């Protein structure tokens, strides 16, 4: 085989390799961009939307402890469930401030525990 025949054969091999490489690069780019476009069409909730849903859910099932007619009132869904008379000298000063702001808890057991903590 002469030198020119060998060069032309190497050129053909190089052209085939370049064509395969271009095809593969194009295919990978298409795959990446198509996946990105499909991902944009999925409406995932934002962090703020998730946080709002958590707050709404907590608000619906939570108990609120705040002052009510000189007593500690326990509210569920903005309705008074129970009120506990408390001696103000027994309450800690920081506990009074917390109750004025309103304390939100999830279960009645937490309400009981919190009342014991506030008055001790």
Give pLDDT tens digits for 37-71: 655 556 777 888 878 777 766 555 678 888 888 78
Answer yes or no: do 37 and 6 share one domain: yes
Average pLDDT over residues 9-15: 90
Domain of residue 6, residue span: 1-44
**Domains: count for the chain:** 2
Answer yes or no: do 63 and 36 share one domain: no
For residue 99, the model assigns a pLDDT of 80
Give the long-range contacts of residues 93-99, CB within 8 A, separation 24 or more: 99/65, 99/66, 99/67, 99/72
Answer yes or no: do 102 and 85 share one domain: yes
Answer yes or no: do 62 and 111 share one domain: yes
Q: pLDDT tens, 68-120?
A: 887 888 888 778 888 888 777 777 777 777 888 888 887 778 888 887 777 66
Answer yes or no: do 24 and 74 share one domain: no
Q: What is the pTM of this model?
A: 0.45
Q: List, in sequence order, every residue forming a beta bridge with 75; answer none if it has no partner.
A: 64, 80
CB atoms under 10 Å from CB of 91, counted, come to 16
């Amino acid at each position: 085989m002469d030198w020119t025949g060998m060069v032309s054969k190497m050129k053909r091999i190089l052209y085939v390799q370049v064509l395969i490489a271009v095809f593969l690069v194009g295919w990978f780019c298409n795959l990446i961009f198509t996946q990105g476009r499909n991902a944009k069409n999925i409406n995932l909730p934002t962090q703020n939307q998730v946080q709002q849903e958590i707050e709404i859910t907590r608000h619906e099932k939570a108990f609120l402890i705040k002052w009510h007619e000189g007593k500690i009132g326990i509210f569920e869904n903005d309705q008074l469930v129970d009120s506990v008379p408390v001696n103000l000298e027994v309450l800690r000063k920081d506990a009074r401030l917390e109750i004025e702001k309103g304390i939100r808890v999830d279960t009645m057991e937490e309400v009981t525990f919190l009342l014991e903590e506030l008055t001790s």
